[in-house]
């Protein structure tokens, strides 16, 4: 007989996963290598270590180790807020009248308000281990910046955060939170870096973008002694750290013998989606499951659904290594959609490859629909979701209603990446009916694509 499923599927401290899961180990075809932008040859560890910490670089390049041990000094930190709740959405199911079973992994119970802390903690831990004094980074919605501020306060490191200007204006309380944890916050583009000054000279009124902010943060890291740069998404080591999300879900699902039919995650740079699906994608790649996996992105920044699969820079100033990914072009500046964390031109290369090879679906949704879904979810389940997370909520509700039409009892899992407590400006705009959907025209996209590097690898 099937066990009764509680509202919250707990894992005790003993049952907590001890390993991250590296999806690449299970991929028959690996993603294309990251390239050095000068030589166009695969980037070496030495190339990357000028910018990033050593152990994350090793993880970035590791395509074969399936399970990687989570260090003890980091597990200490994880224990302060993990395991994150895995919740059966009984109330939402009832409200929708669906025969589907809906589960969500709630990553928003920590103060940073999102899953970002999982990799922030890991990267700060390694920086401390490697004897660094400070880190620099960028933040869009402010979730990554908050997470890094918390992690650096814990591990005793100084931190400079370049926050996308439009976000720092939309979210003064995010800024205050980051500063309360002791980090220096600089709205980007700024006049504190060459990259920032150059972007400001081109367009003094720009609201900024993650691409711009990344350029500034990298410049800060390479020009400062004992400082490295940390990134909150896109890269493979970030997805590896985030696999703690999927590992916890898998452990809890295994306890109750639950096998998801559909897994849904929002996708900006891909860190939450990649982490949530990691062990389930492993099963799928090994033909042990037929789980559908759906990436949800904003129609305003549709890298999967309208982007090109090409080598591109991670930043606007074209200073990073080249990554083969679905991209709108590093010059694409997305509109001021309220899901700041999904305003990024590119996508993690592993997820890009999996999408290219048909293991992953993608869907683009408009923000008014997303907020409709968010409020429906908030009233039923009691949790006010972040605008980013609400993209996954929207598609989970759509799939559950599809089950209602078809009568199928599917098992749906989605990632609730965070809470919307610092996103009330967005809810205020929605409540006041002052929110519009911001879909780029083909001309907007063509302008973005024109910024792709003209290299042999992009011509084939």
Q: Which is nearer to its own copies, 3 or 459 (CB)?
A: 3
Q: Are 58 and 45 in contact (CB under 8 A)?
A: yes
Mapped onto helix, strand or coil, the DSSP state of residue 293 is strand
Instruction: Concatenate the DSSP letters of all residues of 19-50 into one string.
Output: EEE-GGGG-SSPPPPPB-TTT-SBPPHHHHHT
Parallel, antiparallel or unpaired: strands 19-21 and 67-69: antiparallel
- Binding residue for its own copies (CB under 8 A) from 109, 305, 335, 458? 109
∠370-374-377 over CA atoms, to 5°? 140
Q: Which is nearer to its own copies, 293 or 383 (CB)?
A: 383
- Binding residue for its own copies (CB under 8 A) from 98, 110, 136, 247? 110
Q: Which is nearer to its own copies, 111 or 305 (CB)?
A: 111
Burial of 87 (0-12, 13-18, 19+ CB in 10 A): buried
Q: Are 266 and 405 in contact (CB under 8 A)?
A: no
Measured from the CB of residue 119, what is the shortest distance to its own copies in angstroms? Answer: 15
- What single-letter DSSP state applies at residue 84? P
Measured from the CB of residue 427, what is the shortest distance to its own copies in angstroms? Answer: 5
Mapped onto helix, strand or coil, the DSSP state of residue 310 is strand
Determine if 431 is a binding residue for its own copies (CB under 8 A). yes
Subset of residues 203 to 262 that bind its own copies, contact rule: CB under 8 A? none
Query: Can you say whether residue 246 is alpha, beta or left, with left for phi > 0 and alpha for psi between -120 and 50 degrees?
Result: alpha
Measured from the CB of residue 102, what is the shortest distance to its own copies in angstroms? Answer: 14
- For the chain, helix, strand, coil in percent to 5 are 45, 15, 40
* Six token digits for residue 285: 């790649």
End-to-end CA distance of the chain: give it in Å, rounded: 56
Strand segments, DSSP code E, in 347-450 are 361-365, 411-416
β-bridge partners, 268: none
* Six token digits for residue 304: 């999967």
Distance CA 145, CA 395 (A): 27
Measured from the CB of residue 53, what is the shortest distance to its own copies in angstroms? Answer: 21
Q: Which is nearer to its own copies, 378 or 439 (CB)?
A: 378
Q: Which is nearer to its own copies, 173 or 449 (CB)?
A: 173
- Interface region with its own copies, contact rule CB under 8 A, candidates 147-155, 283-291, 435-443, 445-453: 147-155
Determine if 173 is a binding residue for its own copies (CB under 8 A). yes
Q: Are 24 and 60 in contact (CB under 8 A)?
A: no
- Binding residue for its own copies (CB under 8 A) from 67, 133, 153, 366? 153
- Binding residue for its own copies (CB under 8 A) from 19, 256, 421, 449? 421
**Dihedral through CA 266, CA 271, CA 277, CA 278, nearest 10?**
170
Q: Which is nearer to its own copies, 315 or 381 (CB)?
A: 381
Q: Which is nearer to its own copies, 3 or 405 (CB)?
A: 3
| Residue 222 CA to its chain's centroid (Å) | 24
- Interface region with its own copies, contact rule CB under 8 A, candidates 33-41, 110-118, 134-142, 433-441: 110-118
- Binding residue for its own copies (CB under 8 A) from 91, 198, 318, 437? 91
Q: Which is nearer to its own copies, 175 or 284 (CB)?
A: 175
Determine if 180 is a binding residue for its own copies (CB under 8 A). yes
- Binding residue for its own copies (CB under 8 A) from 17, 56, 113, 145? 113
Q: Which is nearer to its own copies, 350 or 383 (CB)?
A: 383
Subset of residues 367 to 406 that bind its own copies, contact rule: CB under 8 A? 375, 378-384
Half-sphere exposure of 46 (CA within 13 A, CB side): 1
Q: Which is nearer to its own copies, 3 or 290 (CB)?
A: 3
Determine if 449 is a binding residue for its own copies (CB under 8 A). no
Q: Are 429 and 435 in contact (CB under 8 A)?
A: yes
Measured from the CB of residue 370, what is the shortest distance to its own copies in angstroms? Answer: 14
Measured from the CB of residue 185, what is the shortest distance to its own copies in angstroms? Answer: 11
Binding stretches for its own copies (CB under 8 A): 6-8, 10, 12-13, 77, 79-81, 87, 91, 109-111, 113, 150, 153-154, 172-173, 176-177, 179-182, 375, 378-384, 419, 421-422, 424, 427-428, 431
């Amino acid at each position: 007989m099937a066990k009764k499923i509680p509202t919250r599927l707990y894992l005790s401290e003993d049952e907590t996963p001890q390993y991250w899961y590296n999806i690449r180990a299970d991929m028959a075809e690996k993603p294309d290598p990251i390239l050095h932008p000068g030589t166009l040859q695969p980037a070496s560890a030495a190339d990357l270590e000028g910018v990033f910490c050593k152990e994350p670089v090793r993880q970035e390049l590791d395509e074969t180790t399936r399970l990687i041990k989570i260090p003890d000094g980091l597990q200490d930190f994880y224990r302060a807020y993990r395991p994150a709740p895995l919740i059966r959405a009984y109330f939402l199911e009832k409200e929708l009248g669906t025969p589907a079973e809906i589960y969500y992994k709630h990553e928003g119970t920590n103060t940073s308000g999102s899953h970002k802390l999982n990799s922030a903690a890991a990267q700060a831990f390694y920086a401390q281990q490697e004897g660094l004094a400070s880190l620099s980074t960028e933040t869009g919605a402010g979730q990554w910046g908050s997470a890094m501020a918390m992690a650096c306060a814990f591990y005793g490191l100084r931190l400079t955060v370049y926050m996308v200007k439009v976000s720092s204006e939309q979210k003064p309380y995010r800024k205050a939170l980051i500063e309360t944890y002791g980090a220096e916050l600089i709205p980007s583009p700024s006049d504190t870096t060459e990259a920032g000054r150059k972007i400001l000279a081109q367009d003094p009124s720009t609201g900024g973008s993650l691409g711009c902010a990344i350029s500034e943060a990298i410049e800060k890291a390479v020009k400062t002694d004992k400082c490295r740069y940390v990134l909150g998404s896109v890269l493979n080591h970030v997805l590896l750290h985030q696999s703690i999300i999927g590992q916890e879900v898998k452990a809890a699902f295994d306890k109750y013998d639950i096998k998801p039919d559909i897994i849904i995650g929002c996708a900006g740079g891909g860190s939450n989606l990649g982490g949530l699906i990691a062990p389930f994608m492993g099963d799928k790649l090994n033909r042990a499951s037929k789980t559908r996996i759906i990436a949800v992105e904003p129609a305003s920044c549709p890298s999967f659904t309208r982007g090109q699969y090409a080598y591109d820079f991670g930043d606007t100033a074209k200073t990073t290594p080249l990554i083969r990914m679905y991209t709108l072009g590093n010059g694409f500046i997305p509109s001021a959609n309220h899901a700041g964390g999904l305003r990024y031109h590119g996508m993690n290369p592993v997820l890009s490859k999996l999408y290219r090879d048909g293991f992953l679906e993608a869907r683009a949704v408009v923000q008014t629909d997303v907020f409709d879904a968010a409020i429906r979810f908030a009233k039923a389940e009691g949790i006010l979701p972040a605008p980013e997370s609400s993209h996954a909520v929207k598609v989970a509700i759509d799939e559950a209603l599809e089950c209602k039409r078809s009568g199928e009892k599917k098992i749906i899992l989605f990632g609730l990446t965070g809470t919307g407590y610092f996103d009330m400006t967005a809810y205020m705009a929605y409540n006041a009916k002052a929110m519009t959907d911001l879909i780029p025209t083909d001309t907007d996209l063509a302008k973005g694509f024109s910024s792709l590097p003209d290299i042999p690898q992009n011509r084939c």
